[in-house]
Copies of this chain bind each other. A is one copy, B any other.
Amino acid sequence: MRAAGLAGLLVSPGPDLAYLTGYTPTAVTERLTLLVIPATLLATGRASVVVPLLERGDLRHGPGTDGLEVVPWRDGEDEHATAARLLDPDGTYAVSDATWALHVLGLQRALPRTRLVACTDAVPMLRAVKDDVEVERLAAAGAAADAAFADVLRVPFAGRRERDVAADLDRFLREHGHDQVDFTLVCSGPNGADPHHEAGDRVIEPGDLVVLDFGGLRAGYGSDTSRTVLVGGGTDEALLAEQRAVHEVVRRAQQAGVGAVRPGATCQDVDRAARAVIAEAGYGEHFVHRTGHGIGTTTHEPPYMVEGEDRPIEPGMCFSVEPGVYLPGRFGVRIEDIVVAFPPDVPDGARRLNTSSRALQVVG
C-alpha cells in the first residue's frame, strides 16, 4: 500500500475478502459490506468492517474478522456516509475489482476529494504470489479436476447433448471435492470455435472435436482445466487429419508457454512463446485470446499472461497456460493447465498442477 501511495484498501465480498478474512456473505446483494484496511494497520492494528446490521452475526464465520472494528448500518441509512467516516477524505484507496458501481459511485459522492483506484491497477500482485498452503490447495483442486476429466472420458459423447456431458462434468467435480462449480463448457464441433460457448442443446456427433473447459472452487481454491477430445467414429479422413494437426499445434504451443517460465521471464513472455508456435503454423489470427490468467481464491485474477504485461514472473505465482485455435464454423482446440512458477522442486521453471495427458484422447 505504501509503495502504491495508498491510504488504504476497500475490500468487498468476493475473492479478496475471502482471502483476507475468510468471510463470504451468504449472498452478494445490493447491501454494502466493506472491509477497510488503512495503510497504518501495522502501526495501529486497527481495521474496520462496514456490514448490514442484519448480517453482523454472520461475521463470526470469517476467522479473520476477529478483532475488526464492526460498523453496522441499518436499512434506510446512507451506508456510504457511514463508510466515508472511516476514510481519509483526501486519501487514495484501492477498491476490490468487483465492488458494485452502486457503491463506488456512492463513496465518490460521499467523499468528493477521495481518489478511488481499482485493486488490479494499484496493487495487482496483492494475491498473486501463493504461499505453500495455497499452492497445496490449488494442487488439490487441480488433481480433483484431473480426476473429473478421467471420469468424463468414460461417458458416452456421441448422440448426447452438450448439456448432458456438462452435467456429468459438474457431478464429477463435486464428487472429487469441489464445493462450487463455476463453469463446465462443452463446445462440440463448430461450437468449439466460440471459446466461451456454453454447453447447449447440440447433439454431439461422431468425428466431432469437443473442447471441455471446467473449473470451480475446492476448499476455497480454484481449478480451471481445458482438454479437447475427439469423438470416435468420424469418417472424413481429411477433416480428421486436420483436427489432429491443429491439436498438435496447440499442444506444442501449450508446452512452449509452460517452457517460457524461466528465470527473468515476464508474464508476456509466456503469451509470446505460445503464440509464436501457433503463428508459425499459420493459425495466428485464430488464437483470439490471451494465453493465461492467475488463479487463487477465484478462477480469474492477476497476473495475466498477455502482450503488454511486463511484470516479472515471481516464485509462487500460479496461473493458467491455455492457448487455443478457433476455426469459425468448423471446430476449435484449447489445452489448459494451471502451473506454479519456480516451486522448490523446479527452481528454474514451472510445475504443472494438472497432470492428465495432453495427447488427443478419443471418446465414445
Per-residue 0/1 for A271-315: is the Cβ within 8 Å of any B Cβ (1 yes, 0 no)? 000000000000000001110000000001100101111000000
| A105–B27 CA distance with the chains assembled, in angstroms | 24
Determine how close the nearest CB of chain B comes to the CB of A14; give it in whole angstroms.
Answer: 10
Determine how close the nearest CB of chain B comes to the CB of A147; give it in whole angstroms.
Answer: 22
Q: Are A58 and B197 in contact (CB under 8 A)?
A: yes
Per-residue 0/1 for A174-197: is the Cβ within 8 Å of any B Cβ (1 yes, 0 no)? 000000001101000000011111
Which chain B residue has the least Cβ–Cβ distance from A182? B27
Q: Are B118 and A101 in contact (CB under 8 A)?
A: yes
Q: Are B97 and A100 in contact (CB under 8 A)?
A: yes
Most buried by B among A12, A26, A193: A26
Q: Are B118 and A288 in contact (CB under 8 A)?
A: no
Which chain B residue has the least Cβ–Cβ distance from A326? B54
Q: Are B76 and A290 in contact (CB under 8 A)?
A: yes
| A116–B54 CA distance with the chains assembled, in angstroms | 30
Q: CB of A53 within 8 A of chain B?
A: yes
Determine how close the nearest CB of chain B comes to the CB of A59; give it in whole angstroms.
Answer: 10
Q: Are B76 and A105 in contact (CB under 8 A)?
A: no
Q: CB of A95 within 8 A of chain B?
A: yes
Per assembly, the copies of the chain total 2
Q: Are A196 and B54 in contact (CB under 8 A)?
A: yes
Question: Which chain B positions have C-beta within 8 A of A119?
Answer: 102
Q: Are B118 and A198 in contact (CB under 8 A)?
A: no
Q: CB of A55 within 8 A of chain B?
A: yes
Q: CB of A120 within 8 A of chain B?
A: yes
Question: Which chain B positions have C-beta within 8 A of A120?
Answer: 30, 102
B-binding residues in A (CB < 8 A): 12, 25-27, 29-30, 52-55, 57-58, 61, 74-76, 95-106, 116-121, 182-183, 185, 193-198, 288-290, 300-301, 304, 306-309, 326, 328
26 contacts between A and B (CB under 8 A): A12-B101, A26-B183, A26-B185, A27-B183, A30-B120, A52-B289, A54-B195, A54-B196, A55-B196, A57-B194, A58-B197, A58-B198, A74-B288, A76-B308, A76-B309, A95-B105, A96-B101, A97-B101, A97-B102, A101-B101, A101-B116, A102-B119, A104-B105, A105-B116, A105-B118, A105-B121
